[in-house]
């Protein structure tokens, strides 16, 4: 009867070849997984910027229509991002109920988690130039403070 000891398992060489093949597959999958995570964060960034900018525009429209009281020299844009969530008093409503423009303020997905949602965004006031956005008396626009560049080649701060 022949000896079956050597037929019961894999040889060391077979295991090493299998591990090498798995390593090649893993090294090919890692960049794709990393790209997928970046793409997902960029989609979140686009959506958050759209939500905030829409709320800022709605606030400005309400101010122009007289629903929000403002000083004669004010731009009509919100003073803070938090006012979009906390609401402002409706000047036309006899009961002075609040107008809310957002249910919650989204975070910048590329920002540090230790910051509040409002602190994750760069803010541009109405009086600042577009090529050098600075904070001021109001919030005219928001931008990401992230230092990276998107898959499309445009820096996140320019989105």
CB 84 within 8 A of CB 105: yes
Give dist(CA 80, CA 56) in Å, integer.
10
The pLDDT averaged over each successive group of 10 residues in the chain (159 residues) is: 62 89 86 88 96 97 92 90 94 92 95 89 91 90 93 92
Give dist(CA 156, CA 63) in Å, integer.
30
Give the pLDDT of residue 6: 56
Task: Please give the full DSSP string across 46-59, using - where no structure is assigned.
Answer: HHHHHHHHHHHHHH
Give the pLDDT of residue 113: 83
User: pTM above 0.85?
Assistant: no
pLDDT digits (tens, 9 = 90+) for 20-59: 999 888 888 888 888 999 999 999 999 999 999 999 999 9
CB 52 within 8 A of CB 81: yes
CB 92 within 8 A of CB 67: yes
């Amino acid at each position: 009867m022949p000896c079956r000891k050597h037929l019961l398992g894999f040889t060391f060489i077979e295991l090493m070849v299998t591990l090498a093949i798995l390593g090649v597959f893993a090294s090919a999958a890692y960049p794709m997984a990393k790209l997928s995570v970046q793409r997902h964060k960029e989609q979140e960034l686009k959506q958050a910027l759209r939500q905030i900018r829409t709320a800022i525009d709605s606030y400005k429209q309400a101010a122009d229509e007289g629903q929000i009281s403002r000083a004669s020299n004010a731009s009509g844009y919100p003073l803070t991002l938090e006012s979009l969530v906390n609401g402002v008093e409706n000047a036309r409503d006899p009961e002075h109920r609040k107008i809310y423009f957002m249910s919650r303020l989204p975070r910048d997905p590329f920002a540090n988690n230790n910051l509040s949602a409002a602190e994750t965004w760069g803010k541009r006031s109405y009086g600042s130039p577009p090529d050098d956005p600075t904070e001021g008396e109001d919030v005219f626009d928001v931008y990401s403070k992230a230092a990276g560049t998107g898959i499309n080649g445009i820096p996140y701060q320019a989105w």
